Structure formats: C-alpha cells, structure tokens
C-alpha cells in the first residue's frame, strides 16, 4: 500500500476519535487544499522513485542476502555509483528529447542536429550498460555462493530489477 494512503488513513481514524479534527486537516480534501509535497518515504526512496535508489534496496538486500556490515558498506557504495549513473542517463535522455524537439521545431528538419542527439542517447545507454555490468561484477565478487544464488532468484522473479 502506498505510504501516503496509510498516513491519510491514520489521520482519518484519529479525526474520528477526536484527537485531530481541524477543518483544514480532516479528510481527503486536505490534500487538494494545499500544494502537493512528497512524503519523507518517497524522498528516502531515491528521489524520483527509480528502480535502484540506495536506502531501500540496500536495506532490502541486506535483509534478504543476510549481509554482514562490511558487505553492506561495500554494497552501499556500488548502489550509490549505479544510482548516480542512472540519474545522469535520465538527464541525458531529457537533453536528447529537447534536442530532437528543437530539430523538429525548425523551419526545415535539421538532420545533423537530430543525428547528434540520437548518438548522444546511444552513448548514454552504453555508459549505463557499462555501469550495470560493473556493478554486477562487483556484487559477484562481494557475495558468497548462497548470497549470489538468492540475488539471482530475486532478479529472475522480478522482485528486484537492475
């Protein structure tokens, strides 16, 4: 269940019991009355809610793989570097989209500009591919055989995505 729904539900229960019943904070209309702000749970998930933030996947993997403290520290570094590369790929993707839109917006289609933009997108994908492969290689070295088997199972079943 979405953490925002849970917090709204808890507020609604408290307001019915008389603990919190201000007109501006009761019920679902309170969210529409103010500007939407992301909750702390979303912020700690890695910002945009991508597939691989750092805190939640680290905590999840630490528990599922039964990692020791040294392994957790090394895995945190691996995941942080992968998160940074994914964020850079997202920026590159937005930049490419903008360049393609500019090429279309011109009086005549600028084939050279569009070609450069698509080449930049391909290069960004290559860098991301390299970062994912490097992260997997480092994880393989870090984990023992049983932990690697569990990680492979999590990937196969879709519980975890890279």
Task: For residue 45, tell me if it sits in a domain.
Answer: no
| One domain for residues 94 and 148 | yes
Three-state DSSP class for residue 16: helix
Task: Please say whether the dihedral angle defined by the alpha carbons of residues 153, 155, 158 and 160, taken in this order, is positive or negative.
Answer: positive
Same domain, 91 and 123: yes
Does 106 score more than 50 pLDDT?
yes
Asked whether residue 57 falls in the same domain as residue 123, the answer is: yes
* 65 and 91, same domain (yes or no): yes
> What percent of the chain shows pLDDT beyond 90?
48
Q: 82 and 110 in one domain?
A: yes
In a domain, 30, yes or no: yes
pLDDT at site 36: 39
Q: Residue 57: what pLDDT?
A: 80
Is the same domain home to 56 and 130? yes
Candidates 69, 156, 134, 55; CA nearest to 148 is: 156
pLDDT of residue 161: 80
What average pLDDT is seen over the chain? Answer: 79
Is residue 42 in some structural domain? no
16 confidence band (pLDDT: 50, 70, 90): low
Residues 85 and 147 grouped into a single domain? yes
Beta-carbon-side half-sphere exposure of residue 14 (alpha carbons within 13 Å): 12
Q: Are residues 74 and 146 in the same domain?
A: yes
pLDDT of 42 strictly over 70: no
Helix axes 111-142 and 69-105, enclosed angle (nearest 10):
170
Whether residue 149 lies inside any domain: the answer is yes
Q: Tell me, what CATH number does 125's domain have?
A: 1.20.120
pLDDT at residue number 137: 95
List the structure tokens of 51: 């597939």
How many whole angstroms separate alpha carbon 99 and alpha carbon 144? 46
**Per-residue confidence (pLDDT) for residue 158, from 0 to 100:** 86
Same domain, 75 and 138: yes
| Domain of 23, in residue numbers | 1-37
With respect to residue 162, please indicate whether it lies within any of the assigned structural domains. no
Q: Which two structure tokens, joined as six digits, stand for 99?
A: 């360049």
In a shared domain, residues 3 and 65: no
Do 148 and 126 share a structural domain?
Answer: yes
pLDDT digits (tens, 9 = 90+) for 112-152: 989 999 999 999 999 999 999 999 999 999 999 999 999 99
**Residue 44 covered by a domain:** no
Total domains present in the chain:
2
């Amino acid at each position: 269940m979405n953490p925002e729904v849970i917090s709204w539900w808890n507020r609604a229960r408290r307001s019915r019991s008389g603990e919190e019943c201000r007109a501006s904070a009761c019920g679902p209309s309170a969210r529409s009355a103010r500007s939407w702000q992301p909750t702390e749970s979303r912020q700690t998930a890695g910002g945009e809610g991508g597939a691989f933030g750092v805190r939640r996947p680290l905590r999840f993997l630490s528990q599922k793989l039964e990692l020791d403290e040294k392994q957790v520290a090394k895995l945190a570094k691996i995941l942080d570097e992968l998160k940074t590369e994914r964020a850079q790929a997202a920026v590159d993707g937005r930049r490419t989209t903008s360049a393609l839109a500019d090429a279309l917006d011109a009086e005549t289609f600028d084939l050279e500009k569009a070609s450069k933009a698509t080449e930049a997108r391909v290069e960004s994908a290559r860098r991301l591919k390299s970062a994912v492969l490097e992260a997997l290689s480092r994880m393989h070295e870090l984990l023992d055989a049983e932990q690697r088997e569990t990680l492979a199972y999590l990937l196969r079943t879709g519980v975890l995505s890279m």
